[in-house]
Structure formats: structure tokens, C-alpha cells
Amino acid sequence: MARATRSDVPALVALLTDDELGRTREAADLTRYEAAHDAISRDSSHFLAAVRDESDRIVGTMQLTVVPGLSRGGATRLQIEAVRVAASERSSGLGTAMFEWAHEHGRNHGATLAQLTTDHARDQALRFYERLGYVHSHAGLKRPL
């Protein structure tokens, strides 16, 4: 797993779009994605991953953020977002390997808890996360600003 570069943005957006929800909410114009990549890259608490196969094709991505906090005795959390694995690589063990790497990244940065959100419509993703030991412990809410 490597830190994504700006030149990886088109492939990462393609992964985000290759998804039942992403098809309708991701955009063709890469300008905002490139700006987001630049902002993520400037902040060392973020790690935007580009996972490549043996032929150097990007087959996975996830965004990791280390979040210090006061609750839970001042616990630091690892927030995991925008997880995608190429359709050709699903059920290959890649997703599990990505999460093992992410958890180690979190521990190496002082995190004692990993958390993520996923859309209720992502049934397969929910089952995958549960197999990795994630439990439904909180209700998440979102609001457009």
C-alpha cells in the first residue's frame, strides 16, 4: 500500500465510480478530486492509499485519518473512509489485507480504536466489515451543509 499521488486521482475516482452508489454521486470533472487530494496530502494525519497489483494497476483505495480525541480517556481513533476494491479483485483477500495494513497504520500512529461508516445499502460491505470484527455500536447521521 502506498500513499496516492496526484497522478493516481483518475484511477481512484474510477474505483469510487465503479460502485452502485458511486455511479450516481461521483463526477466526471476531476478538478475537485485533485483539490481534495492536494488538501489530504498536506495534512499528515491523513493517508490516502493507492493499492497496486503486480502490473502496477490501481486495484484498491482507502482514506485513513488519525483523529485524537478527549472521549474514551483521550483515545486516538483511526477513521477509515472511501474503501474500494476493484471488482476484479473482490473476494481475493485484498480487502482483508488492506484492513490489516490500515489497523497497523493506526496502531503505529497511536490509535486504539478503528471506526468507519458505510451506507446501509452496501449489504456486502457491511457483512465484510462484520467478518473483520466491526460491530454496529453507534448510529451515524449526515446533513448537507
pLDDT digits (tens, 9 = 90+) for 46-57: 999 999 999 999
The DSSP code sequence of 69-122 is -SHHHH-EEEEEEEEEE-GGGTTTTHHHHHHHHHHHHHHHTTEEEEEE---TT-
- Is the CB of residue 84 less than 8 Å from the CB of residue 62? yes
Q: Please give the share of the chain, as a percent, with pLDDT higher than 90.
A: 79
How many CB atoms neighbour CB 84 within 10 A? Answer: 23
DSSP 127: H
CATH topology of domain 2-131: Aminopeptidase (3.40.630)
Q: Which of 56-60, 62-66, 79-83, 115-119 has the lowest mean pLDDT?
A: 115-119
Least confident of 7-11, 13-17, 59-63, 87-91: 87-91
Predicted confidence at residue 19, as pLDDT, reads 80
